[in-house]
Amino acid sequence: MSGGNTVAPAGERPRLLLVEDDAGVRRSLQLLLHARGFDVRAYATGASLLADRLAWQACCLVADYRLDAIDGIEVLVRLRSGGWRGPAVLITAFPSDDLTRRALAHGFSQVLEKPFRERALGEAVERLTKGAPLPPP
């Protein structure tokens, strides 16, 4: 697998990966991020994301923590082990200091607690894909 580009070619929407097992939440976030200018590839499972060859060309990952077989942290670990180097945001309805520490240690740039303001996710992804620093957690 090859590493992902963090910048989309001129005239193309930046490709974003979204893995969320709840269909309604996944569709809502997909529409929100698409409206912000992203080409969103959405998946119900970590395994389906990892099996998609186009996933490796994405500039950013948004992953739910609790998924069926592979959790959001493991998705990023596997992407990284394959050479993907884009930024990532973990979303969770089960926040804890331990989870935040683990997520950051494994390469996530930010952890957002569900429910979150839609604007918070959109702004975080925009900053990450433009290289701007994130605010402190």
- Domains within the chain, CATH numbers bracketed: 15-130 (3.40.50.2300)
Cα 82 to Cα 88, 89, 131, 136: the distances in Å are 15, 18, 22, 29
What is this structure's pTM?
A: 0.86
Q: Residue 91 phi/psi, 5° resolution?
A: -115, 140
Helix axes 97-105, 72-81, angle to 10 degrees: 10
pLDDT of the chain, 137 residues: tens digit per residue: 444 444 444 467 899 999 999 999 999 999 999 999 999 999 999 999 999 998 989 999 999 999 988 999 999 999 999 999 999 999 999 999 999 999 999 999 999 998 888 789 999 999 999 864 554 44
Distance CA 3, CA 97 (A): 30
- State the DSSP code for 106: T
